Amino acid sequence: MQSSDRVLAWRYARALFDSACEAREESRVHEDLSSAYGLILKCLPLLKHPRIDAADKKKKLDRALGKKVSVQTLRFLKLLIDKKRFELLPMIAANFGKQLAEKNNSAKAYVRASAPLSADADKKLKETLKNFAGKNIELEVKIDPEILGGVVVRLGDWVLDSSLRGKLRMLSKTLANAAAA
C-alpha cells in the first residue's frame, strides 16, 4: 500500500462523506459501506480483476448488492470501478467512519479484558474515557484471558495498560533495572 493510496482513499471518503451529509444519509452510507464488503466478498476477485470489463463488474455488483444498499452507495461503488480504485474500499470505509465519528463527536475505544465487563464497569469506563477524551465513547470489548486480569484500553494513539500482565511486566523491568544498578 502506497502513501498515495492512503491520500486517495481519504479524498474519496471525504467526497462521499460530504455528499452523504448533503443528503442527510451519512449514517446509512456508513452502514452500507460496512456491510457491502461482506456482501461482495464472493465476487471480490472478479471486481478487482483488471481484464474484466467495467460494465460486467457493475452488473455483478448490482446482482450482489441489489436493494441492500442505498442508491448513493451503489453509485459510489460503481464510480470506484470506473476509476479502477475498488481495492481502496476498505480504507475508504475506515476513513468515512472516522469522519462520521468526528462529526458526531464520538470515538471508539478498543478494550481487551480478562473477563466480560459488568454493566457498572462498562458505564464507569465509558464515563472515565469520556471525561478524558471529551467525546462520547463507544466501547468494543474483546475477551483476552492472556492479560490475566484488568483491562487494556486503546483510544486513538493512547494506550492504558492496567492489566495484571502489564503490571507484572513493569515490575519485572523495575527489578531488572534495580539489580543492574
Contact present, 148 and 163 (Cβ < 8 Å):
yes
Do 65 and 112 belong together in one domain?
no
Do 94 and 125 belong together in one domain?
no
Do 8 and 88 belong together in one domain?
yes
- Which pLDDT band, with edges at 50, 70 and 90, does 175 fall under? confident
- Measure the CA–CA gap between 110 and 162, rounded to whole angstroms: 14
How high is the pLDDT of residue 1?
A: 58
Say which CATH number the domain at 9 has.
Answer: 1.10.520.20
Do 132 and 67 belong together in one domain?
no
How high is the pLDDT of residue 13?
A: 93
Do 22 and 94 belong together in one domain?
yes
- Measure the CA–CA gap between 165 and 111, rounded to whole angstroms: 15
Q: Is the pLDDT of residue 47 over 70?
A: yes
How high is the pLDDT of residue 138?
A: 86
Q: In the chain, how many domains are there?
A: 2
Do 89 and 8 belong together in one domain?
yes
**Mean pLDDT over residues 35-57, rounded?**
83
Name the strand (E) or helix (H) holding 137: strand 136-143
Query: What would you report as the CA-atom Rg of the chain, rounded to the nearest whole angstrom?
Result: 21
Say which CATH number the domain at 173 has.
Answer: 3.40.30
Q: Is the pLDDT of residue 63 over 80?
A: yes
**Mean pLDDT over residues 98-116, rounded?**
88
Do 33 and 48 belong together in one domain?
yes
Contact present, 13 and 92 (Cβ < 8 Å):
yes
Q: Is the pLDDT of residue 104 over 80?
A: yes
Do 18 and 35 belong together in one domain?
yes
**Mean pLDDT over residues 50-58, rounded?**
87
Domain with 55 in it: 3-102
